[in-house]
Amino acid sequence: MDKTQEVTKVTSTKRRNIFSRTKLYLFEYSVMQVANIWIGTAISITVFSIFSIISGENISSSIIESLAWVFGLILIFFPISIILYARTTGEESTNKARLTQRFRKVIFYAMLSIATISAVSFLGTAVYTASRALFGIDDTSSLLSITLPSAIVLLFHIYFIVVILKREKTSARLRRLNVIVLSILGLTLAGLVLGIALQKSSGVSSDKKIVKDLGLVSSEIRKEFNDTGMLPDSISDLKNLQNDALKEKFIDGQYVYKPTPSNGGYNYDQPVTLKEDSDSTSSMIYPDIPPTSPGEYQLCATFNTRSNTYDNYDSYGPGYIDSAIRTEAEFEYHPKGYYCYSLYAY
């Protein structure tokens, strides 16, 4: 064997050792399991997002934004997990004592517990939602949006517990198969997340622009009301608003401004209901409908997506947002479609 062949053989051996041996086994085994937890999180979010789109549900803007975070998880933790899996399982095949190390056992059983609890949770969710749909309690759409993705994520958990997270030595054939499967899975998930993000991100960007525009207009209305004591008749009348493009959106009808009459629509020329004070000998006259603030108005726009946080406020009933929040941040809460904010310029 000449020197060239010897160098080639040594280089090939070193390359194999990089992906099949490690002197930092316990550290790399621990990091791999942490990476696997993040991979499981990314898989769950991706699967549920895909089936939400398939079932026709409105994806909230915060979920679409979170897909960027998921995409990062996939790009970072899938390669880490695959490389460390190859190195640690290769080390285990040549050094069986690694399998009996106490710290390795602790990490193994901790991951087994986490994966098992998570798998049981998804199993319970799938069975529960399927049962509710079967008994007619919930709409059958929940089978597609909850039951099926829960079952698919459960299968990933089973694969991880049975095939990847092994207490004994992993055979060379299974080791190669798992590396291939994990690589394909990572590339597929990355492609799906990127596709969803590219398809839906334009709506989120547009809604963020709407929120910014409405916040700016609301601030200028408040300033003018504080200076003059009156609401402007139209957005074009706002003296301090120099953004002609924004004013044009109100003229074109993209946004709507509605100043509310200072009496709240109540006509003082109409007869009023008489109220009698039982503690007084005379009758007191006052309207049933009290006047509203002279600074009350509405700003309306059409949103492409639903903000996830909107559900937290909408669940309290219509108008809760308007009565609970009076700041610029209110525009962050909106459903999909046309929506009006009731505001006050005080």
197 sits in which H/E element:
helix 172-228
Give pLDDT tens digits for 87-109. Answer: 999 999 888 899 999 999 999 99
| Range name among 21-35, 178-192, 290-304, 324-338 with the lowest pLDDT average | 324-338
User: Residue 59: what pLDDT?
Assistant: 62
User: Residue 114: what pLDDT?
Assistant: 96
Q: Are the beta carbons of 271 and 294 closer than 8 angstroms?
A: no
What is the arithmetic mean of pLDDT over 293-318?
66
Which residues in 161-295 belong to E strands, given as ranges?
255-259, 274-276, 283-285
DSSP state of 149: H
Q: Per-residue pLDDT for 274 more than 70? A: no
Q: What is the DSSP string of 50-68?
A: HHHHHTTPPPBHHHHHHHH
Give pLDDT tens digits for 222-264. Answer: 888 888 888 888 888 887 787 888 888 888 888 999 887 654 4
Q: Which of 247, 265, 267 is nearest to 257 (CA)?
A: 247
Q: Per-residue pLDDT for 282 more than 70? A: no
The rounded distance, in Å, linking the Cα atoms of 189 and 110 is: 26
The rounded distance, in Å, linking the Cα atoms of 44 and 39 is: 9
CA dihedral (154, 157, 158, 160) in degrees, to 10, reads 160
User: Per-residue b/e over 42-71, b at no fewer than 16 CB within 10 Å?
Assistant: bbbbbbbbbbbeeeeeebbbebbbebeebb
User: Residue 283: what pLDDT?
Assistant: 44
What is the arithmetic mean of pLDDT over 209-231?
85
User: Residue 11: what pLDDT?
Assistant: 45
| Percent of the chain at pLDDT exceeding 90 | 32
Selected residue with higher pLDDT from 21 and 76? 76
User: Residue 19: what pLDDT?
Assistant: 67
Identity of the highest mean pLDDT range in 54-58, 198-202, 212-216, 260-264? 212-216
Q: Per-residue pLDDT for 214 more than 60? A: yes
The rounded distance, in Å, linking the Cα atoms of 256 and 252 is: 9
Give pLDDT tens digits for 107-148. Answer: 999 999 999 999 999 999 999 999 998 888 887 888 888 999
| Percent of the chain at pLDDT exceeding 70 | 74
Which pLDDT band, with edges at 50, 70 and 90, does 83 fall under? very high
User: Residue 79: what pLDDT?
Assistant: 95
Burial of 77 (0-12, 13-18, 19+ CB in 10 A): buried
State both tokens at 13: 């051996």
